[in-house]
Each structure stands twice: as structure tokens, then as C-alpha cells.
């Protein structure tokens, strides 16, 4: 899913393949001289999720809704901050500790907008985008439970 | 209408999607969950704690009191854990 | 300048050469399974600094003090957030719009620590690390003035 | 002691560094700035607004009332604009 508005190209992809952060940043910034700040967030599979040892994580998503939900939040981010580009890539499938899961890239003239928009998007990806993690450990497999801290993180962005 | 299930809701019900025809008295998301729960043990298990089930109608998050009239696709799933 | 403490490798470099974000992230995360979040900030030379058109920027620094000042702030960040790795690269020399100037990378178990530490380091790089920018425009050359907004950004992190 | 100048302070004074020997009555950073300003027009121009000049002693930021006793290297520069 790609779109463009107000000089802010948007790319949203859900894929099994890994991503290349340098390539994604190059796509966002090439031939442009109005971008002063690029923030990237990459989320990786860890071996230790809340004290249990993880052998692998499997990511499931709701095709169609996942892309649309991310798009809604990217649009919301673009309405809040003066952004010059946004890329969101969420991988699905089975991952080993150390592997990439998610990438959020934001570009802006100034760093504060890029930082805040990236954090906003990650907080909403965690709590609102239809993805679910199942973890495999020595004691079996189970679905990861949602964290109250993620709801609290997303609630920071609610406009009163 | 089409119904989809994800994560452990899907696993408990034992299918990813199905077509259903609830009676006309079922008007809201919570009424649909109650009606599905009455189908058999698998649905009852999936919806045993209806308050933690999240629902989307036509790809948008909705609350339990949302009307299901006109919905093409309703999805039930646990709280999201992506990112 | 490299060091390591509490499983948090630190690299601080001041150089003329460009940096490769993907390579720097790979160095920080390779062979590790305890990192869940990597935030990168890259700062680029823009063509429009406060409405005047920039042809080039020249970055001057205070060798010795610059590295030490960055190290002090990296140590401060490590005492505030549970970090698993920090890389700071600041380029010096003459830059055209679109070129990279600075890179801050932070790695942590969770995203909030990585985001906050990266933003903290950037705010202090802007206001406290001894670097100065001279800009060339159609009307001549001049030293960039410090922005009050940068002092305010850095002041957010002051502990009372 | 060694003194270093950066950015427009360096350009106005016309040199990047020098060795100086201020009299014993010059004890603080602000006294040193005042003494340097009296050397000639170039120094007076560089330090014409002493409040905006930043100072580091042995690579650490210090305030105008800091003592210069024991300093090996003192640097004067405008507010930083890196990052």
C-alpha cells in the first residue's frame, strides 16, 4: 500500500520477508533536500519475553484490516506532525530471537516531529493493529497476552 | 454474513471463518457473541470471557454495543499483540 | 571511542566519512537475542534553514572535548535507561543538502527506553556538544545561531 | 596556559589557539575575558557580548565565575549548533 499527500510519501507493507533499513531510508530521502530528521524504529524478536525463554514467535494478522488500521494511524500521524515520509513494514510468519519483526520510519524537517510520530505509530501498532503473537518455549506454545503498559503508552496520545 | 476468528479465538472455535445467519433478534455485537456462545462448547469456550474479546466490523474496531445491521464481515479476536 | 558496561557497548565517533546505518545497527545487534527495540536518528543537511536557501553547511568541532562531552551524555543516558547499546557518529566537514550529518542509535529491551534515550542524546548533542555550523547561501556565509527551541528541548530532561 | 577559540570567536580573533600568561589578579573566566578584551580590537570584537560566550576548562563546560587556577586549556566559543 503506497500513497502520497502533501509531499509525504507513505508506504505500508505486511510481508514475510525481512526488510533492509538502509534501503528503506534511501527510498524515503533520495533526491530530497527538505528532510532534516529521519527516525527509524525496528522491533526484534527477543529470547526473553517476561522471564520465559522464547525459542520462536509466530505472527498472525488480519489481512486487509491490518493494512487499513495502520493507514488510519499513519493518516492521524500526518495530521498531527509535519511529516515528509512514513514507512511501516510489519512482518508475519515465524521468527527466531534476533530477527526483525517491525519497522517504522518517519522523516520530517525537525527531529521532534519525527521522534514523536514514530513513537505514536509504534504505540498504536502494539495496541490497535490486528496482529497476534504466539510464542514457543521449552514448556510449550501459547499466545502472548496484551500488556497494560502498551495500552497506557497508546493512551498518552489521546487528545482531550 | 461472514465471520472471521483470529489467534486463540480461531483455535478454540476450530475454524478461521464461516458464513452465519443469526436470527433478526440479534442486533448488536454482544448479542451476536451470546448467540454464538450458545451454538456449542467450542464457541462457549472461545467467548467465555466476552469482555476481553475485540470485534471489528468491516475492518474497523467497534464496541460491544455496536449494531451489526449491514455488516459484511465481522471479526472476533483477542487483544492485539503486534509491533 | 568505544567502551562497554553492563552489556551495553558504546561507540562514539567523529569523522568526515559518511556512515552506513544498516551496518551500524548490525554491529549493535549481531549475535544478541536480548534486544527488542532499536531506534536510529539520522540528521541530514537541509536546503532550507529558517527560510534562507542553503548551498552547503560546514561543521567544525572541538577535538577531544567533543568526544568527551558526548561520552558524558551517553553515560547519563545509560544511568537513566536500561540500554543494550549506543552508537553516536557525528560528521565534520562540508556538507551539501541531503547529506548525513549525525547518527544516534540506541538499543534496549523495550521501545520506550530506546526512543527516550535517542531523543535525550540528540537534544544534548544540539545544545552541549562542541560543534558549530557555518552555512553558505546565495547571500554569503554565516554561522548558524543557536535556537531557543533546542535549549528548551534539552531542558525537558533536567532532573529536579 | 593554552587558550583555544572556535567558530566566529576564532574568526574574530584571527587565531585558533595561543599560549597566554594573564596576571595573577585574573582569577575567573569572566576576568580572563575582560583581560583578553583589553588586548586589542580583535579580542574586544570577539568578546563584545561576553554573556553569550561559552567557556570550557580542560574539556568541561564552566560558568563565567569559574576559577581558572590550574587550568591547562581554556576554550572560548559561541553557543553550540551541532547535531
Please report the DSSP string for B48-83 in residue order.
SSGGG-EEEETTEEE-TT-B-TT-SEEEEEPPP---
- Cα torsion C117, C122, C125, C128: sign: negative
Closest by alpha carbon to A93, among A63, A67, A59?
A: A59
Domain count for chain D? 1
**What is the arithmetic mean of pLDDT over A44-62?**
88
- Rounded to an integer, what distance in angstroms lies between the CA atom of residue D30 and that of residue D62? 11
Assigned C-alpha cell, D41: 580590537
User: What pLDDT does A85 receive?
Assistant: 97
User: What pLDDT does C152 receive?
Assistant: 87
* A 37-66 → B contacts, CB under 8 A: 43, 59-62, 64-66
Residues of chain D with pLDDT under 50: none
- Rounded to an integer, what distance in angstroms lies between the CA atom of residue C143 and that of residue C57? 9
Q: Residue C5: which pLDDT band, with cuts at 50, 70 and 90?
A: low
Residues of chain B with pLDDT under 70: none
Share of chain A above pLDDT 70, in %: 94
Q: Do chains D and B touch (3 or more CB pairs under 8 A)?
A: no
End-to-end CA distance of chain B: 30
- The ipTM assigned to this model is 0.93
Compute CA C69 distance to the chain's CA centroid, rounded to the nearest angstrom.
12
Q: Residue C50: which pLDDT band, with cuts at 50, 70 and 90?
A: low
User: What pLDDT does A152 receive?
Assistant: 87
Phi then psi dihedrals of residue B68, to 5 deg = -100, 0
Closest by alpha carbon to D56, among D80, D38, D35, D40?
A: D80
- Rounded to an integer, what distance in angstroms lies between the CA atom of residue B64 and that of residue A84? 38
User: What pLDDT does C157 receive?
Assistant: 86
Say if B83 falls within a structural domain. Answer: no
User: What pLDDT does A148 receive?
Assistant: 84
Structural domain that includes position D69: 2-77
Closest by alpha carbon to C12, among C50, C54, C63?
A: C63
Phi then psi dihedrals of residue B61, to 5 deg = -60, 135
User: What pLDDT does C159 receive?
Assistant: 77
Would the pLDDT of C134 be above 80? yes
Neighboring chain A residues of B60 at a CB cutoff of 8 Å: 65, 68
Q: Do D6 and C60 touch (CB under 8 A)?
A: yes
Would the pLDDT of A52 be above 90? no
**What is the arithmetic mean of pLDDT over A55-65?**
97
Would the pLDDT of C51 be above 90? no
By mean pLDDT, which of A51-55, B32-36, C132-136 is the weakest? Answer: A51-55
Say if B82 falls within a structural domain. Answer: no
Say if B61 falls within a structural domain. Answer: yes
The whole-chain average pLDDT of chain C stands at 93
Q: Which CATH number fits domain A2-155: 3.10.520.10, 3.30.70.120, 3.90.1170.40, 3.40.710.10?
A: 3.90.1170.40
Q: Do chains B and A touch (3 or more CB pairs under 8 A)?
A: yes
Would the pLDDT of C49 be above 70? no
Q: Residue A117: which pLDDT band, with cuts at 50, 70 and 90?
A: very high
User: What pLDDT does C95 receive?
Assistant: 97
Say if D43 falls within a structural domain. Answer: yes
Grouping H, G, I as helix, E, B as strand and the rest as coil, residue C5 is: strand
Grouping H, G, I as helix, E, B as strand and the rest as coil, residue B15 is: coil
Please write the tens of the pLDDT for every residue from A132-149. 999 998 889 999 998 888
Q: What CATH number is attached to the domain comprising D47?
A: 3.10.20.30
Closest by alpha carbon to B22, among B7, B37, B8?
A: B37
Say if D83 falls within a structural domain. Answer: no
Q: Do A41 and C39 touch (CB under 8 A)?
A: yes
* DSSP E strands, C8-72: 8-15, 37-44, 48-49, 52-61
Domain ranges of chain C: 2-155
Q: Do B82 and A90 touch (CB under 8 A)?
A: yes
Amino acid at each position: 500500500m503506497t500513497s502520497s499527500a502533501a509531499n509525504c510519501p507513505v508506504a505500508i507493507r505486511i510481508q514475510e520477508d525481512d526488510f533492509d533499513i538502509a534501503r528503506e531510508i534511501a527510498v524515503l530521502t533520495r533526491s530530497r533536500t527538505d528532510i532534516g530528521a529521519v527516525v527509524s524504529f525496528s522491533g526484534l524478536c527477543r529470547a526473553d519475553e517476561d522471564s520465559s525463554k522464547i525459542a520462536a514467535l509466530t505472527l498472525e494478522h488480519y489481512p486487509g484490516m491490518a493494512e487499513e488500521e495502520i493507514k488510519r494511524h499513519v493518516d492521524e500521524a500526518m495530521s498531527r506532525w509535519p511529516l515528509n515520509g512514513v514507512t511501516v513494514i510489519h512482518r508475519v510468519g515465524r521468527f527466531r530471537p534476533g530477527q526483525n519483526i517491525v519497522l517504522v520510519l518517519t522523516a520530517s524537517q525537525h527531529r521532534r516531529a519525527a521522534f514523536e510520530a514514530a513513537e505514536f505509530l509504534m504505540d498504536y501498532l502494539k495496541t490497535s493493529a490486528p496482529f497476534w503473537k504466539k510464542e514457543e518455549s521449552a514448556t510449550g506454545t501459547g499466545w502472548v497476552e496484551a500488556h497494560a503498559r502498551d495500552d497506557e503508552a497508546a493512551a498518552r496520545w489521546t487528545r482531550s | 454474513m461472514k465471520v472471521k476468528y483470529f489467534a486463540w479465538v480461531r483455535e478454540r472455535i476450530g475454524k478461521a471463518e464461516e458464513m452465519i445467519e443469526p436470527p433478526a433478534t440479534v442486533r448488536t455485537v454482544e448479542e451476536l457473541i451470546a448467540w454464538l456462545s450458545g451454538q456449542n462448547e467450542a464457541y462457549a469456550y472461545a467467548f467465555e470471557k466476552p469482555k476481553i474479546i475485540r470485534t471489528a466490523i468491516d475492518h474497523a474496531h467497534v464496541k460491544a454495543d455496536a449494531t451489526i445491521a449491514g455488516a459484511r464481515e465481522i471479526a472476533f479476536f483477542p487483544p492485539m499483540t503486534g509491533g
